[in-house]
Amino acid sequence: MTVHEIRTRQGDSKRGDASDGAVLAEAVGGRLSRVDGPAKITGAAKYAVEQQLEGLSHAVLVESTIAAGKVRSIDTAAAESAQGVLLVLTPDNVLRLNTATDWLGTPPPDAPYCPLARDITFSGQHVAAVVAESFEQAVAAAALVKISYDETPAIVDLDDPKAGDGIPVDTMTKEWGDAQAAFAAAPVRICAAYNTPREYQAPMEPHGLIAHWQGDRLTVWEPSQWLDGMARTYAEWFGVPFDNVRLVSPYIGGGFGSKAFAYGYGAVAAMAAKMLGRPVKLAVTRPQTFTAYGGRAATRQTVALGADAEGRIQSIVHRGVNETSVDGMWVEPLGSVTSIMYQTPNFSSRQNVVRVNTVVPGALRAPGENPSAFGIESAIDELAYEVGIDPLEIRLRNYAEQDPEAKKQWSTRQLREAFAVGAEAFGWSKRPREPRSMRDGNQLIGWGVAAGTYPVRRAYGEAMVRILADGSVEVESSSIDMGQGTYTILAQTAAETLGVPAENVVVKLGDSRYARAGVTGGSRLAGVMTGAVHKAATAALDQLVGLAISDPNSPFHALQANTLVVANGRIKSPRGDGPEVSIAELLGSVGRSHIEAMGDTTPANWTAEDRYKNNTTITMALPHTEGDYSRHSWCAHFIEVRVDEDFGTVRVSRVVSALDSGRLYNPKLAESQWKGGIIMGIGQALLEEGIVDRRHGRIVNNNLADYLIATNADIPDIEVISVGIPDLHSSVLGGKGVGELGIVGVAPAIANAVFHATGKRVRDLPITLEKLI
């Protein structure tokens, strides 16, 4: 397989605007277009499951058709005798695998792991798999597998009478003051329940992999947000050394949190490949993407706000619950935004989880913060109307000057600025207070506002930078690019640090053989990896200048210089005296084929075990409140909706969002990420909902025709404005999280706008016409 690499290309924009004036597009802060764009739009990009291997076979999963019970028998005779079938896997003939460590580093139990189930806990669970010479043969044979069950009653969702109140999650409890008493004594009280349904990531590229064993070494081509973490899981499953597993993820067609872990279907494919002694490809079908891993859990929150007559909050009492699976645990942290967005002397937040017959839920863009913001940002809007204050003014009146929970100063918090700039650009001052006071013919018009936040999740990573004999530069890291622009910003970082054109930088990502990196999730990758590349490039530059000064064969040796300047790929004296040569000419003169340096952001006293844990779990990540500061990104969304008075249909007609993500490494790419989050927020507010057949516990809209996500026709022009300033408490180069932030607060801003348009408060997402008529 050829090494996947991206060489930067000049975009149409040579220069971009920055706070300190115009900067070259190639430098950090410039608006260089995504360098992986040409490969994607021309079809040259080869994704993980598109690899062509000799002897490739194909696996297809067989899923349970009940939500609870046991497999009584599996008849595989017809499937095994079907044309082209190589293997039929069931719980009876699988290899014995080990249970792997989870992403938190929890030691696994001394018990086997079987990716095919006999005890059924949700509809769509993997029960068997068929491997054949061709995909079509595998599909046909899978239909011949006959499974009988002993079915038992299932708990289908949070509304099921059998669900109960759930299990308390003690770690989610946050309390200070006496919130209950303060609420009871408050002159103004608001208490309401806010619900969000199951939601799914629905990436354009479905999940899948190709697994290939060569002796005791396993190579897996799989779309991955965390190559080293997934490699660790495969290694532990099969009991081989970590270094014996190679993960390759050249491109990723969307993940949104769903592609950070190795799942059961991956174990099935790798197991089949080992048993057959040939590579196996398993591509998860679109319906299976709704059950092969988990989307966002359904949530239910009650938010009680007690305030004085001027709308100043005296108490917040928050109670939340999210669904989890019968045999797994997922906590959607519903108090995460509730506890920090507004100042209050009294606070109480508690959370339960309810076990239902579903796949274990998982991370979906801004897990926790997203539904948490829906509750608190809807509730404070209700409080504004109760006390007769503008919804923007009440947010400013309760502005938290420091982290109310951690009792620490913000590293930076440009939320006031976001409110001011966003309101000015939107024209908020023209908004009439009363609902149903704006219309255009039969369309009711409403304006809503909401705030959002996401913590700065800091971690560590490493990168290799090489200066080659021809003057070009290579950057290597096992981090990935799933569309957020990693190739581009790392090229810009190396180019700026080394003084070379960005078009001379080749970035190599998506291979676990490269310098190690942690998970791409939680908006941490850009801050971590720009820091690592900057350090590696600085070390390589120091070597280059040192050679130029000290090597007897260098043209600068007789200059007696203490330092040299490298710019545009050329080396010269800062005084302008002496020679000027290219990097390639210097390396040729001193007889060097390359210079290379490893850069990492890890503490100097870390052991090899610490580094392994950092790359394969999240146990070494720094809390966002570590030290003297509380670190977060912030945003304010101003949204206009139009509601058809006759039919109750809702359309978002205008969006202005102001966001604080610190320093932007590439504004063009950051703006794209923000807009992507806002678009997902529009889908969440108006369209997305996993619908369960209550008779059988099945997801009935498990396809992209029936699971509604926003399309171009649903999205208006979106204006995004950066109000951030560099935050060196959050990252080496001053950036904060971008990708997760944009979605937080969009849904409540839309719900608040719908109330302003119609006078009807919708507290259950999505906002559909039957809830308005």
In this structure, the number of other CB atoms found within 10 A of the CB of residue 445 comes to: 18
The token pair at 121 is 């806990």
Dihedral through CA 208, CA 209, CA 210, CA 214, nearest 10? Answer: -150
Give the residue among 167, 127, 169 at the shortest CA–CA distance from 145.
Answer: 127
SS3 annotation, 159-185? CCCCCCCCEECHHHCEEECCHHHHHHH
Residue with tokens 């519903």: 334
The token pair at 12 is 């149409």
Cα–Cα distance between 431 and 72 in angstroms, integer?
Answer: 64
Give the residue among 367, 351, 361, 364 at the shortest CA–CA distance from 122.
Answer: 361
Give the residue among 141, 130, 157, 201 at the shortest CA–CA distance from 67.
Answer: 157
SS3 annotation, 678-721? HHHHHHHHHCCCCCEECCCCEECCCCCCCCCCCCHHHCCCEEEE
Cα–Cα distance between 126 and 115 in angstroms, integer?
Answer: 7
Compute CA distances 683 → 213, 287, 711, whole Å.
41, 19, 9
Residue with tokens 């408050």: 186
E-state strands within 206-312: 208-214, 217-221, 245-248, 280-283, 299-307
Residue with tokens 């499974």: 147
The token pair at 157 is 């969702």
Show which residues are catalytic: 740
Cα–Cα distance between 517 and 479 in angstroms, integer?
Answer: 5
The DSSP secondary-structure symbol of 770 reads G
3-class secondary structure, 751:
helix
